[in-house]
């Protein structure tokens, strides 16, 4: 409670689980959270665990680990845990046992859901309503999306604003 959670998982099948932990913390406990995946997390992000020092000390890095993760990635996770700990942040490791990868993933998924609801209770918030999401679903105002992803724009846009060399053209519909 009172700390910013930063979740770390691994690529190779763990992406969805790490993302799920983050979204459940945000939706149920109404707390901002971040996530990143190894091995990429050992590049630029590792350097960022310095400033602002006052914020770093209020963060908790949560590592989602499993023995099926590549040994080199597990060593990088352990190294990163040490770096983060030395900066004054809290480090937690979430790992479960089970006879198969699927059973361990399901257990870790359930643990993340439980943690998010428990944190909501610690904050004194009801984990069930998602008032801001419901309000967004009813919102009929303007939302600006900037993207090079034509498929995304086709799915969300009802107008496209094209800006080239200072000239603005508005197209009704999408691409």
- For the stretch 83-140, pLDDT in tens is 999 999 999 999 999 999 999 999 999 999 999 999 999 999 999 888 877 776 777 7
Rounded Cα–Cα distance for residues 56 and 44 (Å) = 16
15: annotated active-site residue? no
70: annotated active-site residue? no
Please compute, for residue 22, the number of CA atoms within 13 A of its CA located in the half-sphere on the CB side: 18
Q: What is the pTM of this model?
A: 0.78
Per-residue confidence band for 142, with pLDDT thresholds at 50, 70 and 90:
low
Give the pLDDT of residue 156: 73
Token pair belonging to 74: 């597990």
140: annotated active-site residue? no
Give the pLDDT of residue 172: 84
Considering 27, 30, 35, 65, which one is annotated as catalytic? 27
Considering 51, 131, 137, 167, which one is annotated as catalytic? 137
Give the pLDDT of residue 175: 65
* C-beta of residue 66 within 8 angstroms of C-beta of residue 12: no
Considering 1, 36, 40, 43, which one is annotated as catalytic? 43
Q: Is the dihedral of CA 142, 146, 150, 152 positive or negative?
A: negative
pLDDT exceeds 70 at position 141: no
What average pLDDT does the chain have?
A: 90
Per-residue confidence band for 5, with pLDDT thresholds at 50, 70 and 90:
very high
pLDDT exceeds 80 at position 150: no
* C-beta of residue 92 within 8 angstroms of C-beta of residue 77: no
Residue-wise pLDDT tens digits, 32-78: 999 999 988 888 888 999 999 999 999 999 999 999 999 999 999 99
Lookup result for tokens 């200072």: 166
């Amino acid at each position: 409670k009172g700390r910013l959670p930063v979740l770390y998982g691994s690529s190779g099948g763990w992406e969805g689980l790490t993302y799920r932990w983050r979204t459940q913390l945000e939706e149920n406990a109404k707390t901002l959270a971040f996530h990143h995946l190894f091995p990429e997390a050992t590049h630029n992000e590792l350097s960022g665990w310095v400033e602002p020092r006052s914020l770093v000390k209020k963060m908790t890095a949560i590592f989602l680990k499993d023995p099926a993760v590549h040994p080199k990635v597990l060593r990088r996770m352990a190294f990163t845990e040490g770096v983060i700990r030395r900066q004054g942040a809290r480090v937690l490791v979430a790992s479960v046992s089970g006879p198969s990868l699927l059973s361990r993933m399901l257990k870790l998924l359930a643990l993340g859901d439980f943690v998010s609801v428990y944190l909501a209770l610690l904050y004194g918030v009801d984990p069930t309503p998602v008032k801001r999401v419901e309000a967004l679903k009813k919102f009929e105002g303007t939302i600006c999306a900037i993207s090079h992803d034509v498929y995304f724009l086709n799915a969300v846009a009802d107008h496209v604003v094209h800006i080239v060399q200072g000239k603005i053209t508005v197209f009704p519909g999408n691409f």
